[in-house]
Structure 1
Amino acid sequence: MKRGWKKAITSVLTVSAVILLGACGAKKEAANETEKSQTVKLGVVGESNEAWEHVQKELKEKENIDLEIVKFTDYRGPITSLEDGSIDLHSSLTEIFMDEVNKEGGFSNTTIAYTTLNPLGIFSNKIETIDELQDGATVALPNDVSNESRALLLLQTAGLIKLDKEAGLLPTVNDVTENPKSLKFEMLDANQTIRALDDVDIACVNNNVAVDAGFIPTETAIYLEPVADSSKPYYNVIAVREEDKDKEIYKTIVKYYQTDEVKDIIADVTKGSSVPVW
């Protein structure tokens, strides 16, 4: 009888030990899962990404988030890649441009934060001031809708042309109502405008395109887009797919970007040409 009880007790202890070991194993496995880093793919345009490289390092060290920076050479690439799931978020585009492409393609790229205002500039290898521009001069403009419009508005602000007011924020060359210098417009991909400087008299160039080409817009542009309340449509954004806008991991990434350290990096790299807007 005693021997039977001993066997029963031994069996119970054995089963308990197995259960305990299993529970410990499950906890260990769960802990390992927690320790695994999460990979997030961020789309950017251009080669100058020091601010995001700083954020990338901070996220890895403090949050165990692997931020993979995916570089694009055109502005539509991040939008379509976000839409098809090739990347998880992007940061390099103005809100007005993204909204226009969303409308055209039926996309859902959604702003979750703002980063910088990157003033558009007029550059030239042939003249040093706007006043030197001759009649019949050739002007290189970006050929996408929002950047073309922004460039034309810049030329108007500089006193070179006048535009139809009814065109609002999205005028095209067809909306030029006054062109006293008979300027000729050459439409190019945005990343090609800076490369055309030897072939045109002036070029309207996006900030990051100029910086990637070694220019400092605040020092080398002969005219720079003024910063005003009307600039908000041209704020650069951090965007995700609409269904992902409330995910905590993306809020964490925004928190690590919108810091004084990042402001200092932007100021240093761009020589004040990019203006943080958060």
Structure 2
Amino acid sequence: MRKSVTAVAALALAFGLTACGSDSGKSGGGDDDALVVGATAVPAGEVLTYIKDNLAEKAGLDLEIKEFTDYVLPNTALQEGTLDANLYQNQPFLDEFNKSKGTNLVSVVKAYLPPMGVYSKKVEDIAKLADGATVAVPNETTNEGRALKLLAAEGLITLKDGAGANASPADITANPRHLKFKELEPAQLPRSLDDVDVAVINNNYAQDAGYSPAKDAILLESAKDNPYANLLAVKKGDEDDPRVEKLARLLVSSDVKKFIEDKYQGSVLPVTSG
């Protein structure tokens, strides 16, 4: 039931994205060409829009943003060259994508941490989760592992030693509350809350659904030693593109840090160094 990167991603590319701005940007352009960056709408798209509207012109950067609604197509488009960069994923996800698809995408800089959380319409305290409760988790390899690690950190389950970023329910060695796991597409998780006891939801999909992670999650990831900061990624060899370097500097600037702190109020956490 676990979802890996699908073979139909290239076909879905024709239907799965909406663009902000023109479609004139192309990968590998000159210093004066628009830098075309793919992103999910929240928070990546909002952070990039802030940069585009407030900082890019002064930095000499022409920025074009293309928004996506899933976690596969931004990398597919980047590898194919219809994007110059993307912002939406973390390092474990990028590593798994490269491994499974044979791509050569690399991180340029960490931009912010969107903490994953547990949400519920039936439970107000994670400590009161009932015996036999149904828990919805993402069905993508690294996001499912991330969700299970969050539950394990709370003591709800135990994972076998060495389970790592790609942990699955098969790696659970202790389940004292006899939790039942339902694996769903990440975008479907907010809609599953009427049917399950709790759901572990990625930050962007929680915010898209109107939830404030800092206020509404009954369990939220800690920022301490967290490897899941979202990063600016490019195709290997494009790290030194002057346009990419300009965007990387802006992403960790004090202006963007303040924007993230003011707008998200703890639901997204800034990263001030790569």
TM-score over 0.5 for the pair: yes
Paired amino acid for 2:235: R
Q: What is the match of residue 259 of structure 1?
A: 253
Deviations 1:109-155 (A, max 9, x none): 11111111111101000010012211111111001010000000111
Q: Cα distance, 1:71 vs. partner?
A: 0.7
Q: What is the match of residue 65 of structure 2?
A: 69
Q: What is the match of residue 41 of structure 1?
A: 36
Does residue 174 of structure 2 align to residue 178 of structure 1? yes
CA RMSD of aligned residues (A): 1.5
Structure 2 residue matching 1:69: 3-state secondary structure: strand
Instruction: Give the ranges of 4+ consecutive aligned residues of structure 1 lying more than 4 Å apart after TM superposition.
Output: none
Q: Cα distance, 1:166 vs. partner?
A: 2.5
Q: Cα distance, 1:170 vs. partner?
A: 2.1
Q: What is the match of residue 248 of structure 1?
A: 242
Alignment of 1:1-278 (within 5 A): 37-48=32-43, 49-58=45-54, 60-229=56-225, 231-232=226-227, 234-277=228-271, 278=273
Paired amino acid for 2:254: D
Whether the aligned pair in 1 keeps the contact of 2:42 and 2:207 (CA below 8 Å) is no
Whether the aligned pair in 2 keeps the contact of 1:46 and 1:209 (CA below 8 Å) is no
Cα distance in structure 2, aligned partners of 1:100 and 1:167:
14
Q: Cα distance, 1:63 vs. partner?
A: 4.4
Tell me whether 156-165 or 255-264 shows the greater mean CA deviation: 255-264
Cα distance in structure 1, aligned partners of 2:59 and 2:112:
24
TM-score using structure 1 length: 0.83
Cα distance in structure 1, aligned partners of 2:56 and 2:252:
17
Q: Which structure has the greater CA radius of gyration?
A: 1
Structure 2 residue matching 1:122: 3-state secondary structure: strand
Q: Identical aligned pairs, as a percentage?
A: 40
5+ residue gaps, structure 1: 1-35
Cα distance in structure 2, aligned partners of 1:206 and 1:74:
12
5+ residue gaps, structure 2: 1-30
Whether the aligned pair in 2 keeps the contact of 1:58 and 1:256 (CA below 8 Å) is no
Paired amino acid for 1:250: V
Paired amino acid for 1:245: E
Cα distance in structure 2, aligned partners of 1:225 and 1:64:
36
Q: Cα distance, 1:64 vs. partner?
A: 4.6
Cα distance in structure 2, aligned partners of 1:207 and 1:216:
9
Cα distance in structure 2, aligned partners of 1:121 and 1:134:
18
Paired amino acid for 1:273: S
Whether the aligned pair in 2 keeps the contact of 1:122 and 1:205 (CA below 8 Å) is yes
Paired amino acid for 2:63: L
TM-score using structure 2 length: 0.84
